Amino acid sequence: MNQAVLSKLKAIVGENHILTEFEDRYCYSFDSTFINSMPDLVIQPGSRDEIAAICRIAYANDIPVVTRGAATGLSGGAVPVKGGIVIETTRLNKVLEVNTSNFYAIVEPGTITQDYLAAVDKAGLFYPPDPASSKMSTIGGNIAECAGGPHGVKYGITRDYVLGLEVVLPDGSIVQTGNLIDGDMSGPDWTMLYCGSEGTLGVITKIMLKLTHKPQAKQTMMATFSAIEDAATTVSTMMASGVIPTTLEIMDNMTIRAVENFLNIGLPIEAGAILLIEVDGDPQAVEKHVQHVLKVCNDCNASSVKVAKTAQEADGLWKARRSVSPACGKLNPTKISEDATVPRSRIPEMVSAVQAIAKKYNLKMVIFGHAGDGNLHPNILSNKHDKEEMARVEKAVEELFQVALKLGGTLSGEHGIGYLKAPFLVWETGEEGFKFGKDVKQAVDPKSLMNPGKMFDYHDDKAV
């Protein structure tokens, strides 16, 4: 990067908030996927105006800008595949307001999701989206990737809670979308354009979020099935029957075995699948829902259903789910987490398809997902140093995408498209849809400087 530009950027944020050393830039060359690409510079701005000033300079000098929070994404969205400037938003980390009369919050994008959740909880309100990464991910990243989480089944995902945004556009101008009242504004819903935009249309600098009431009561259950097909049928039947659980998580046999091997807590290792089900609401409704859940599970051949009697017991049931990642890590080191998602009614078919693909490519594949919203999270357990196996993984993933789309599903339930799924995006959108996406991108970012190489700006050249 030329010295004149560098000194201008230093003048904006100060020497301490720019990283130029090779070793430091190297640490910003990745996210939670397995791809790497070096940025030319890392900047940690402290305000919206600094971000706008950085964007103006980048725009004048045709330098790519890649915005990131904690870089915990699973689609390569935060990897600077074309180099350029990485803007890390984590210094903008304040919860500016939690409004308890009008049920909204205003947050800066670099706020850690967990910190924001704690602030909302302290105010006595509830913000449902709960991505597994909430301990480290940022709220800005949640919006840019449109994160989900176990609560999504009943409460919806991040997109459903965004009322409005403040965005710095590629040329450094600043716009506000939506409003604090109902998120609506005159004209189309620009806010939605930015949910899941993955930094390709500008930099989100302020976020207005909708809040809701805390559920008064909840109940956790674990249903065991000898055949995974029955568990899958339970999910689709349950969702069609009108009682929507807060959480409906599935674990297949290989996952159960891995977790039991890891924890020794007496999980049924012969079971084909386990469903972890949680219902919430006012206490009477919860009781009714529990009875309903029990009936559906039994009708669908559950071999047993355990209802947690205490909060401790509930926590015990959740412990198994929370330990899936480390437990699977013991089987094989590289875990490739996919989130191809299908309509809830098609879950049984998707389960069979995943099993068939695992067999065909001779891969260890586990299912442990938010089955309730059709997101089975098939995870391939592999070793990234095994080139031959990784080639099979690549083929299996492609086939997974094809099957999901054939069943009326989508490439991504919650991880985003980023770089890794960009080559397949056209399968979902069709040629015309893809062109429309490109046109929108072109209109907002005519120089293709915002997170280039991602989503609709994908060109067939792999990152190193």
Report the nearest approach of other proteins to the CB of residue 91 (Å). 7
Question: How does DSSP assign 128-167, residue by residue?
Answer: ----TTTTT-BHHHHHHHT---TTHHHH--GGGGEEEEEE
Give whole-number Cα distances, 163 to 51, 207, 212, 292, in Å. 22, 8, 13, 34
**By CB under 8 A, residue 91 contacts other proteins:** yes
- Asked if residues 39 and 28 have their Cβ atoms less than 8 Å apart, the reply is yes
30 sits near other proteins (criterion: CB under 8 A): yes
Whichever of 335 and 447 has its CB closer to other proteins, that residue is 335
Task: Work out whether 112 is an interface residue with other proteins (CB under 8 A).
Answer: yes
CB 336 to other proteins: min, Å: 9
At position 193, the amino acid (one-letter code) is: L
- Measured distance CA(284)–CA(66) in Å, rounded: 49
Query: According to CB under 8 A, which one of 335, 364, 392, 447 is a site residue for other proteins?
Result: 335
The answer to the question of residue 329 lying near other proteins (CB under 8 A) is yes
C-beta separation of 244 from 154 below 8 A: yes
Q: What is the dihedral of CA 325, 327, 330, 332, to 10 degrees?
A: -50
Three-state SS at 267: coil
Part in contact with other proteins (CB under 8 A); list of ranges 21-29, 171-179, 217-225, 406-414: 21-29
Based on the shown chain and the rule CB under 8 A, indicate whether residue 90 belongs to the binding site for other proteins: yes
Closest alpha carbon to 248 in 296, 213, 299? 296
> How far is residue 336's CA from residue 411's CA, in Å, rounded to a whole number?
14
- The half-sphere exposure of 416 on its side-chain side, counting CA atoms within 13 A, is 33
Report the largest interatomic distance among the alpha carbons of the chain, rounded to a whole angstrom: 71
- Can you list the positions of beta strands (E) in 254-343? 273-281, 302-307, 334-337
Q: Select 69 or 172, whichever has its Cβ closest to other proteins.
A: 69
Instruction: Please state the closest distance from residue 30 (CB atom) to other proteins, in A.
Output: 6
Using the rule CB under 8 A, is 135 a contact of other proteins?
yes
Scanning 27-35, 303-311, 342-350, 452-460 for contacts with other proteins by CB under 8 A, the matching segment is 27-35
**Closest CB to other proteins among residues 104, 419:** 419
Closest distance between other proteins and the C-beta of residue 366, in Å?
14
Q: Identify which of residues 18 and 238 has a Cβ nearer to other proteins in the complex.
A: 18
Q: Does 44 bind other proteins (CB under 8 A)?
A: yes
**What are the Cα distances from residue 148, in Å, to 6, 353, 416, 427?**
38, 23, 10, 23
From the list 170-178, 189-197, 286-294, 328-336, the region that binds other proteins by CB under 8 A is 328-336
Residue of 114, 301, 352, 402 interacting with other proteins (CB under 8 A)? 114
Selection from 79, 60, 114, 105 nearest residue 416 by Cα: 79
* 21 counts as binding other proteins under rule CB under 8 A: yes
CA–CA gap between residue 160 and residue 212 (Å, rounded): 12
In the list 136, 180, 244, 285, the residue contacting other proteins (rule: CB under 8 A) is 136
Q: Does 333 bind other proteins (CB under 8 A)?
A: yes
Name the residue nearer to other proteins (CB basis): 78 or 279.
Answer: 78
With b meaning 16 or more CB within 10 Å and e meaning fewer, what string describes 390-409? bebbeebbebbbebbbebeb
75 lies in the site for other proteins, by CB under 8 A? no
Residues binding other proteins: number (CB under 8 A) = 38
Which own/partner pairs from 438-447 qualify as long-range (CB within 8 Å, at least 24 positions apart)?
440/193, 440/201, 441/200, 441/201, 444/169, 444/170, 444/201, 444/202, 445/170, 445/200, 445/201, 445/202, 446/170, 447/59, 447/62, 447/170
In the bound state with other proteins, the residue whose beta carbon lies nearer, of 327 and 450, is 327
Of 37 and 224, nearer to other proteins (C-beta) is 37
Of 132-140, 204-212, 252-260, 284-292: span binding other proteins (CB under 8 A) = 132-140
Question: Of 129-137, 186-194, 250-258, 425-433, which part binds other proteins (CB under 8 A)?
Answer: 129-137
Give min distance, CB of 73 to other proteins, in A: 10
Is 283 a binding residue for other proteins by CB under 8 A? The answer is no
Position 27 contacts other proteins (CB under 8 A): yes
Give the nearest distance from C-beta 362 to other proteins in angstroms. Answer: 20
Query: Which residues of 69-216 form beta strands (DSSP E)?
Result: 85-88, 95-99, 104-107, 125-126, 162-168, 174-178, 203-210, 212-213
Give the whole-angstrom CA distance, residue 136 versus residue 92. Answer: 15
384 scored as a contact of other proteins (CB under 8 A): yes
Using rule CB under 8 A, residue 43 touches other proteins: no
How far apart (Å, rounded) are the C-alpha atoms in residues 112 and 120? Answer: 13
Measured from the CB atom, is 92 or 209 closer to other proteins? 92
Q: Which residues bind other proteins (CB under 8 A)?
A: 19, 21-24, 26-34, 36, 44, 70-72, 88, 90-91, 112, 114, 133, 135-137, 325-326, 329-330, 333-335, 383-385
